[in-house]
Amino acid sequence: MRQGIVDLVRQTSALDGISLIGLTTNGLLLEPMLPLLADAGLNRLNISLDTLNRDTFRHLTGFDRFEQTYAAITNAEKSGAFDRVRVNTVVMRGINDGEIHRFAAWALDRRLELRFIEFMPACGSGWKQERFVGEDEMRARIGLDLEETPPNDNNSGPAVRYHVPGFPGRIGFISAISRDFCARCNRLRLTSSGQLVGCLFGNVSIDLIPLIRDGASADKIAEFIRNVIMTPGFRSTRREQTSVDGNPSMRRVGG
């Protein structure tokens, strides 16, 4: 975990106009840090978990530490610091697609928001077309009547969320391949090297470091970013992906 993460959260929460501070993590180092992070102002948490099977977890991650991630989810749910802990699950045929119904039942019984994510052709992801499972097939495997949960300003984003009456949990889908959501995408990504990225599948990034080093004011930086966003081509529209050679690494850009 990034050194100084608690101080970073605390400083961010003190900024005017920021009401949501989120963290996406694999959960391995989260448990002892959770009370400190929540006290500092963390109020949204995404934990990645692609399987509920210990052997599959070891196969996917290279580590036999399933219990640590599972415990992090359980403790975060019980902490009361988050409305719902979000669990991100990338579905891959032949690896974890047989767990879709089990995952859904597990999440619905808890105050979790499980987001099934379509496998995307990102660099280093091991993408193969035969591993892809689309949202329609996922929903068929879940086999429940899902009612769409209306979006709100604080939760707008790529996930479409559903609930089942009588259950505390929710299920969402992030379907970048089968359901193009480029027109309603509200994501910008700022890398640790100061690059502003408008699209996970685009090849355009803007360097903000020169502005910062020149001592530009916050207003000037904000105006620059607004102008960049409106530049044609900064945000790409999704195209059919047959190769991952030119696609970015999720580790570098972020999910």
Closest CA to 199 of 236, 243, 233, 242: 236
**Average pLDDT, 10 consecutive residues per value, the chain (255 residues):** 89 93 93 95 96 97 95 95 95 97 96 94 75 96 93 71 95 90 81 86 86 94 93 68 52 63
Residues 6+ apart with CB under 8 A from 115: 86, 87, 88, 89, 159, 171, 172, 173, 174
CA distance 28 to 237: 35
Closest CA to 139 of 116, 170, 106, 158: 116
CA distance 35 to 30: 9
Residue 85 backbone phi and psi in degrees, to 5: -75, 130
For position 177, what pLDDT does the model report?
Answer: 86
Q: Which domains does the chain have, with CATH numbers?
A: 5-183 (3.20.20.70), 187-253 (no CATH)
For position 243, what pLDDT does the model report?
Answer: 45
Three-class secondary structure assignment of the chain? CCCCHHHHHHHHHCCCCCCCCEEEECCCCCHHHHHHHHHHCCCEEEEECCCCCHHHHHHHHCCCCHHHHHHHHHHHHHHCCCCCEEEEEEECCCCCHHHHHHHHHHHHCCCEEEEEEECCCCECCCCCHHHCCCHHHHHHHHCCCCEECCCCCCCCCCCEEEECCCCCCEEEEECCCCCCCHHHCCCCEECCCCEEECCCCCCCEEECHHHHHCCCCHHHHHHHHHHHHCCCCCCCCCCCCCCCCCCCEHHHHCC
For position 236, what pLDDT does the model report?
Answer: 67
For 42, half-sphere exposure in the C-beta direction (CA atoms, 13 angstrom radius) is 24
Amino acid at the residue 63? F
Query: Are 20 and 154 spatial neighbours (Cβ–Cβ below 8 Å)?
Result: yes
For position 148, what pLDDT does the model report?
Answer: 93
- CA 230, 233, 237 angle in degrees (round to 5)? 110
Closest CA to 87 of 177, 151, 170, 180: 170
For position 250, what pLDDT does the model report?
Answer: 62
For position 241, what pLDDT does the model report?
Answer: 44
